[in-house]
Chains A and B, each alone.
Chain A
């Protein structure tokens, strides 16, 4: 075998400490949030819930619902986009996107997102969804937005310049933006058609108020 005589003799863990983000030691970190490492931010989500009503019933990783739907908003309006096993999708920067039961707003960022669902490797294990996106730099931002369910008019939006801060700050900002949106029905009322839209909810289900948990079950 080529190069075999040049292989390091030490165990892999000694020469490349974090060589596998899904190792027993690291997997909880990557399933519990979005972790910046080098040029990219990584998120890994076990797909373990049969239905939405069990999401958030226990503390733990940000597991996904098998029946969830994913949406993007493009020039022709709101579209359901497929997330098929073994198929890499890229949500292009600037595209509003929403995943049911996972985050109760439309995320719009200046970075491209790579998304890959993989089926369970065995009946006793969950499938996984991988999300990889670039680390924002300079004036690049993240936005959370709400569009009217009825007519897709922009109802409410908040923006954070994540290129100039540590990305970890996104989560407390996201929570504040969701709470602000939910605090007044006027924020949720469409200026175009008058429809009152449902409350939003954060990515971390452990932060849900009863109102937010109900919203998580519904959209």
Chain B
């Protein structure tokens, strides 16, 4: 077969775990072996935090994260992401590993705004927010911005301390594990 020029592929089995922009979408894919803690999607709603996951092999999970919903994926990124675009989360559990896909986008020109948020793990009070103009600076710019935001949050204990209940939030970590510092790598294992 010829190598199609117009075609893009991304393997869920790859060990690299970076976001890539293709057309109207940003695409991420990955997997976790059975010995590793699984990725878990959490959504922040008015009723509280909703865990969205399937743990047993069977029909995969296909979920829409509605634009504007703060969401965090345990061990994948150490903040609550909010976008003005819908995201899609797919999780498929097999006997040897669990495979994941996440996409952002679908509508031309979106996402145009993204944000990183942190909430107190004890009482749910919002601790900090960093906003990004994705329409002007692009999704690639957001990937750099989120890591800067994570490191600002980690540097400043005041940002991590809840003014309501005084709980101190753990350190945060960015989208890409290969950019972790040692403390960020430890934080990724923790939450």
Contact = CB atoms under 8 A, between A and B. Distances in A.
Contact of B2 (A79, A91, A121): A79
Contacts of B54: 20
A125 B49 contact: no
A135 B106 CA distance: 7
Contacts of B94: 119, 121
Contact of A76 (B2, B45, B92, B119): B2
Interface stretch (B18-26, B135-143, B155-163, B175-183): B18-26
Contacts of A140: 108
A60 interface: no
Contact of A6 (B8, B85, B124): B124
Contacts, number: 179
Contacts of B119: 3
A42 B88 CA distance: 10
Contacts of B8: 89-90, 92
Contacts of A9: 48
Interface residues on A, range: 35 or more
Contacts of A42: 62
Could you say which interface size class chain B belongs to?
35 or more
B52 to A, nearest CB: 6
Interface in B89-145: 90, 92-94, 99, 101, 103, 105-108, 110, 119, 121-124
A5 B6 CA distance: 48
A75 B12 CA distance: 29
Contact of A125 (B47, B59, B72): B59
Which 7 pairs across A and B sit closest by C-beta, in order of nearness? Answer: A134-B106, A112-B23, A39-B106, A39-B86, A2-B191, A8-B48, A40-B106
Given A86-B12, A128-B60, 16 more contacts: A2-B170, A6-B123, A15-B45, A15-B47, A19-B50, A21-B62, A42-B62, A72-B4, A75-B5, A82-B1, A111-B24, A116-B101, A118-B60, A121-B58, A121-B59, A134-B107
Interface of A: 1-3, 5-10, 12, 15-16, 18-22, 27, 30, 37-40, 42, 44, 72, 74-76, 79-82, 84, 86-93, 95, 111-112, 114, 116, 118-119, 121-122, 125, 128, 130, 132-135, 137, 140
Interface of B: 1-2, 4-13, 22-25, 27, 29, 31, 42-43, 45, 47-52, 54, 57-64, 66-67, 72, 74, 85-86, 88, 90, 92-94, 99, 101, 103, 105-108, 110, 119, 121-124, 170, 190-191
16 contacts: A7-B48, A8-B48, A12-B50, A15-B45, A19-B52, A21-B63, A81-B1, A81-B4, A87-B12, A90-B9, A91-B7, A118-B60, A118-B92, A121-B59, A122-B58, A135-B107
